[in-house]
Structure 1
């Protein structure tokens, strides 16, 4: 449900912007606010699942998510829409750790890649259905219904969670690190808010710069706090593990580049090529189809070549698939667009699977909850950074070329930039030894 919601919205952003009387670029705040909310609340949601039980938190998360959905559908201005998306993100953040934590605590290292694939494949159904569904609703009904349809789906989700998810708890849960939570929440939210609003929209440049400065100060304060806290909210010492450091930090650069795609691509196809949201959605869902196909064979590829080799070469293919979008023109056959996005989805899926599994290769069982919280928070923050960077590049390109309205020629620098950003993760990947993650990949 969460994955489908995000892809539905990405396809419908241009129409939502028009109805709210805003620039399509301004709607980057709707994507960014959701991702910021995830980054803020994912760390504490892991503690809450340990303390109150996975089923209890999962059902509460669905409830918060659907309330946010209703408010999104009722929004009449950009600021109310952004606030409602932030509320949605609170629910999404509490949903994320439950499945992953249950999987990580239930399987051996050798089964981890396959188990994560089983967890991910159902989530990819949303990105396949989402774009054409969002386009269909937006084109032939009203964009507000893309949020209202979450109500019956959420009710079904609560019923299924009650019936099938065990209410797992941890017997001895340390007290919540309230100072750490407040510092990390302020740091992450203010930093992302500052980056997303610099230039224009909602607040002045002075306020944007102030948010960014205060956010950085709060993150530094959290780092100092975590070094002396007995039970910090996020245990930064886990970054001493090389595989965890490469998977999370190196992976964040790759995800930042990929994170701009759901924002840039629908705008490119609709504003640049004049496609309807429905037509755009039918094209973009091919990337998710490619991702799903790769999930079925990624374990065999990793067993044959190992993590370092796969990550080293595949990052080039995945980044090139982003840059290739820059060469689309209004005359590019739709079949060519579909094939490019399909193979791009294949390469990105393999990279994500490898990075996700590698992150937990050397993490002790007792530290899984902490590692999952850190990885999830950084992942979502990097996706938000990708949206911000992509929007900045698009704005700059349009300004330099002297366009008052977005046209197709404005987009190619943005796709090249995010492709190079993803490729920059190679610096971390090359630090890995040849046998990195061998206990997971099974390569001998």
Structure 2
């Protein structure tokens, strides 16, 4: 199936706008939790249910997203999910009780869980393998800029306006994206889509939800808490049963048979390790910077922002570096350099020049940005269009679990090592050793990813390196409004 150039621009524009607000929403709430808890009259720990509800809802709807897109149409499902996410954002802003706000966050999670896999499937169906390096230039907006902007935007909004505006800011992007998509997106529905794998969904939804809950709440409630142990054990048991069921299913919801493809398997494992390392570092470093170096939340956000700038520059380099170095070398070099930077960050002190720290974080963006771009391009090189929905669902599930695992393990390191120590004068002092160990743990994730990266063969990703499709062959057989929308569309069409 061929897509005219205009259709490609439209798919890319809507995808980037939608994923931008979803990605920023993932980081914008954390800075405002304390203010929200004070205004709603609940303990700060209770406000953590806002993130838990979102993550659990996300985990429930992620597995079924690919099937819904194939069965009911990617345009219908994607725009419905985007509309739900945007509407629930507005409802979150009007909530006056924690229970109401949590319910609306659960609705947001449902929309976000459906958006990512369906949108990714749309994107990679529209752009054939040899064009995907060019597309990576615009993917940096939701991947890099949005998460980095979240804490800065949240800090400014909470200080100057009200926490409710952190949800209202989704509307000026979400509403035009829905309208733009309704007018110009074309529907795509896979012919002959099988019935829903109900046993697979009944196992995957609670299995992923309980596992995500245990990983996210374990550091807060304690890993030996009966609730955490019960949720974690039950979740892992259900996921183990899921593997057995899906391997035997004729039309599985989570197609584990895709892992037989060597390239998809190893790029997926690299993605899991990369997400664990990066999200873990972005969790640990701001805590260290505020707790040990006594910086404010806004200062911390501005200090980490160079990482996003580096990622944006990296996205412009990937179309040049990817075909010249190949995925194996590019991914490996990025992981090695980023791991070295993480190790260097673990050694900073109060006397370290802040600009040196910003330079290191800029380097994280440059090197890991190219790794992330190369992984996304190479992963789907051998996936046929008919399987794109299932492949994007599985890839997204892996990423989410990788992020949760990274934050959970590094949080456990902080808890075991202790972030404060008692001095001889019986005062509490920040324990720099705990943060250093956690940052070294983030580097360890990247070294594990490096081992998987060395298993990648460039020959398997030849379709994404080739500049032009072979003559007489359909490119897809070898296998991503206002002035802002127009700007995105023009850049995607270059």
| 1: CA distance, partners of 2:282 / 2:265 | 26
CA distance in 1 between counterparts of 2:102 and 2:69 reads 27
Matching residue of 1:430: 454
Structure 1's 396 and 319: CA in aligned 2 closer, same or farther, altered over 3 A?
same
Pairwise mapping of residues 283-432 of structure 1 onto structure 2 (< 5 A)?
283-398=303-418, 401=421, 407=430, 409=432, 410-432=434-456
SS at match of 1:198: helix
Which residue of the partner structure matches residue 46 of structure 1? 66
Out of 218, 231, 244, the residue aligned to residue 238 of structure 2 is: 218
| CA distance in 2: counterparts of 1:203 and 1:16, whole angstroms | 27
What secondary structure does 1:296 align onto? Answer: helix
Q: Distance in 2 between matches of 1:27 and 1:228?
A: 42
Instruction: Find out whether 1:165 has 2:194 as its counterpart.
Output: no
CA shift for structure 1 position 101: 1.4
| Alignment check: 8 A CA contact 1:187 1:218 kept | yes
Would you say the 8 A contact 1:134–1:277 is kept in 2?
Answer: no
Retained in 2: the 8 A contact 1:243–1:432? yes
In 2, the alpha carbon distance for the partners of 1:99 and 1:8 equals 22
TM-score w.r.t. structure 2 length?
Answer: 0.80
- Alpha-carbon distance between aligned partners in 2 of 1:386 and 1:133, rounded to the nearest angstrom: 25
Change (3 A) 1:436 1:31: farther
Q: Give the superposition deviation at 1:335.
A: 1.8
Q: Does 1:174 align with 2:204?
A: no
Q: Tell me, in whole angstroms, the C-alpha distance in 1 between the residues paired with 2:100 and 2:293.
A: 30
Moved more, 37-46 or 343-352: 37-46
* Residues 116, 99 of structure 1: alpha-carbon distance in 2 compared, 3 angstrom cutoff: farther
The equivalent of 1:100 in structure 2 is 120
* Counterpart mapping for 1:230-241 below 5 A: 230-241=250-261
Aligned match of 1:441: 465
Residue pairs, 1:226-265, within 5 angstroms: 226-265=246-285
Q: Is the 8 A contact 1:394 1:411 kept in 2?
A: yes
CA contact (8 A) 1:124 1:292 kept: yes
Q: For 1:21, which of 39, 43, 49 is the aligned residue?
A: 43
Moved more, 106-115 or 327-336: 327-336
The 1-side partners of 2:91 and 2:346 are apart by 36
Between the aligned partners of 1:261 and 1:433, the Cα distance in structure 2 is 29
Contact 1:273 1:408 in 2 (8 A): no
Distance in 2, Cα, partners of 1:68 & 1:402: 45
Alpha carbons of 1:164 and 1:215: their partners in 2 closer, same or farther (altered >3 Å)?
Answer: same
Equivalenced residue count is 440
Structure 1 residue 300 displacement after superposition: 1.5
Contact 2:328 2:457 in 1 (8 A): yes
* C-alpha displacement of 1:121: 3.9
Answer with 1 or 2: which has the greater Rg. Answer: 2
Instruction: State the Cα distance separating 1:122 from its structure 2 match.
Output: 5.7
Please provide the CA RMSD for this pair.
Answer: 3.0
> How far apart are residue 32 of structure 1 and its match?
5.9
